[in-house]
Structure formats: C-alpha cells, structure tokens
Amino acid sequence: MSQLASLTLYNNDDARPIIDAILADNPGVRVLKMPGAVKLDCEDKLVVKRASVEERMGHSWDLQEIHLVLISMAGHLDEDDDQFAVSWSH
C-alpha cells in the first residue's frame, strides 16, 4: 500500500512560487486548500526543486528558506542544495 508524501505550506506571496513549482514538478499532486494554508499530497514522493522555484521567483533562493513558509510535512526527508524531497521509499 502506498502512502502519501505531503507538504503543508502557508498560502501567501512568499510561498506561492514554491507551490507553483511543486505543482509543475510533481504530476498527480493533490491540492487541499485550508484557511491560510495549502496542503499538497502526492503518492510516495514529493519534491521541491530549487531551480524551478528560482525561475518563478526571479532571484536566487536558498532551499532552507522553505522553512519560513513550511507548516508541516509527511515522509522521510532527503535534501541537498538543489532539492528538498519527502518520500516513503527507502
């Protein structure tokens, strides 16, 4: 049985490019809108790519800045300078 990998982010101007990048990079992601927050669910794996976010923001972006808008996450974290991924695979 597969599990859902998930990220919950604020729904604000700072998070919007990140949300857009996640939607573009993860086919099959499901969006749950809550007051002030957006929960993104995907089977097995969800990845945030620095390059996609930078392209939408128009300036360089440190992946660790995601913590400024990250509310909650589900999945094992695998991160480096270029991507931030949550998944249940080992």
Partner 1 sequence: MTVQIKTLDFEPKRQTFGHIARRLGADKPATRYQEATLDIQATANFHYKPLWEPEFWQYDTRKTAVVMEDWYKPLDPRQYYYATYNIARANMNQAVERNFAFVEERDLIGRMSADARANVERGLLPLRHLHWGSNMNMAEMTQRGYGAAVTAPCIFSAGDHLGMAQIISRIGLELDGQTGASLDKAKDAWMNDAAWQGVRKLVEDTFVERDWFQLYVAQTLGVNGVILQFAYRNCDAAWKEGAITIAMLTEFMSDWRAEEARWSDHVVKTVAAESAENKALVSQWAKHWIDRAIAAVGPLSDALLGDGGAAAKAAGDSAAAKARALGLAL
Neighbours of 78 (CB within 10 A): 13
Nearer to partner 1, 59 or 67 (CB): 59
**Residue nearer to partner 1 on the CB measure, 14 or 78:** 14
CB of 17 to partner 1, least distance (A): 8
3 state SS of 24:
helix
Q: What minimum distance in Å lies between the beta carbon of 36 and partner 1?
A: 9
Binding-site ranges for partner 1 (CB under 8 A): 13, 16-17, 33-35, 57-59
State phi, psi for 71 to the nearest 5 degrees: -95, -45
Least spacing, CB of residue 47 vs partner 1, in Å = 23
